[in-house]
Structure 1
Amino acid sequence: MSKFKPEKLSVKYIPPATAFEPVDSRKYTLTHSDMTGELYLSIGNSYDYQAINYKMRDEVLADWITVNGEYLLYGKAYISNGEFDKNMSRIRYMIFKKEMDLALTGLIYGDRSFYTNYPWLLDAPIYVQFASVYPEYSEIAYYGTPRKYLNIARRKRIDKTQV
């Protein structure tokens, strides 16, 4: 897994969303630069479709949803809808699986102020859907809670200051 570097994360709020609201319909678009390793997070009431590279489709989308009255963070990683062959889909799937912890750390850390007003969401489950026409690369996986990813980011900051 690549290491999370807070200084390489840029966060943009799309109005009317702010660092503190809303919970319902709060959506995240996380993209990155392969060249610089920078992460770009957009937070709003809709996904930041302008930030998505439709040729690469290497973004992670997520939003807060309720299931049976409880909130969960539901992420999506696009593997293939048939435009990538099975081998390329396998490679994409493996890369997404390998880098998902980094992506979720950036997504959660980038919205850390949000949890000040909603601390109970720190223990909400995170699920990520890997979407593919190939059944072996199509799944929904559990990824822990936001608290886990804030702890990862906090440890990285502590490690950095001790160097």
Structure 2
Amino acid sequence: MKKKLRKERDYLSTFNPEKLSVTYTEGITSSSPVIPRRYTLTHSDSTGELFLNVGINYAWGKINALRDEVLGEWKECGNSLCFCIYLYIDQGDFTQAVSAKRYEIFRRELPLALTAIRYGDRILFNTLPYLDQAPIIVNFMSSYPQFARQENWGTFQGFWTENGSI
């Protein structure tokens, strides 16, 4: 599994900070609070732009019918924090073949999404450096059991250390 994740992390080189727009809403600032703090990452297929909304709630109004957004939030995990990601592979009406393709795309593009979240909320990470050590738990949501799973994707520090980004 580690080799596969490393290969997928090579996609981080495609992150372009100039194509990321960040919006803080609903009582969230660039440095607080951590909980509740929810992330909605969407994108434009035509321009390649990424849009990160950080708020107390998810930015449901920014989500399109395809459900190709990345949702994330900080949660308490025992005595520490973890970052939970939710990816909707299908909505129950997709064929297994379509769900398989979406699953593959989400897995391939997730490192880019995590990079955008980390970069977009870098003031919070700089203010609270221990957040770079928090585990990233990814929840693949699917009606097909072979795609519905939970995985530990390491830490945000792992993405920066391996790739020399930030």
Deviation at 1:115, TM superposition (A): 1.3
Deviation digits for residues 69-124 of structure 1 (CA, Å, limit 9, x no counterpart): 21000000001131211110001000000100001100111000001221111111
Q: Quick one: structure 1 residues 112 and 151, their matched pair in 2 at CA, closer, same or farther if it must change by over 3 Å?
A: farther
Q: Quick one: structure 1 residues 12 and 154, their matched pair in 2 at CA, closer, same or farther if it must change by over 3 Å?
A: farther
Q: Which residue does 2:76 correspond to in 1?
A: 66
Q: Which residue does 1:30 correspond to in 2?
A: 41
The answer to whether structure 1 residue 19 and structure 2 residue 30 are counterparts is yes
- The TM-score normalised by the length of structure 1 is 0.89
* C-alpha distance in structure 2 between counterparts of 1:113 and 1:12, whole Å: 13
Q: Which residue does 1:161 correspond to in 2?
A: none
Instruction: Please say if residues 118 and 125 of structure 2, whose CA atoms lie closer than 8 Å, have aligned partners that are also in contact.
Output: no
> Which contiguous aligned blocks of 4+ residues in structure 1 show a shift greater than 6 angstroms?
none
Deviation digits for residues 43-70 of structure 1 (CA, Å, limit 9, x no counterpart): 01100111100x2100000000011121
* C-alpha distance in structure 1 between counterparts of 2:113 and 2:25, whole Å: 19
Q: Quick one: structure 1 residues 131 and 68, their matched pair in 2 at CA, closer, same or farther if it must change by over 3 Å?
A: same
Please, which runs of 5 or more residues in structure 2 have no aligned partner? Answer: 1-10
1:3-152 correspondence runs (5 A): 3-53=14-64, 55-151=65-161
Instruction: Please say if residues 31 and 51 of structure 1, whose CA atoms lie closer than 8 Å, have aligned partners that are also in contact.
Output: yes
Q: CA RMSD in A?
A: 1.6
Instruction: Please say if residues 6 and 153 of structure 1, whose CA atoms lie closer than 8 Å, have aligned partners that are also in contact.
Output: no
Deviation at 1:148, TM superposition (A): 2.7
Aligned-pair identity in percent equals 41
- The TM-score normalised by the length of structure 2 is 0.88
Q: Which residue does 2:8 correspond to in 1?
A: none
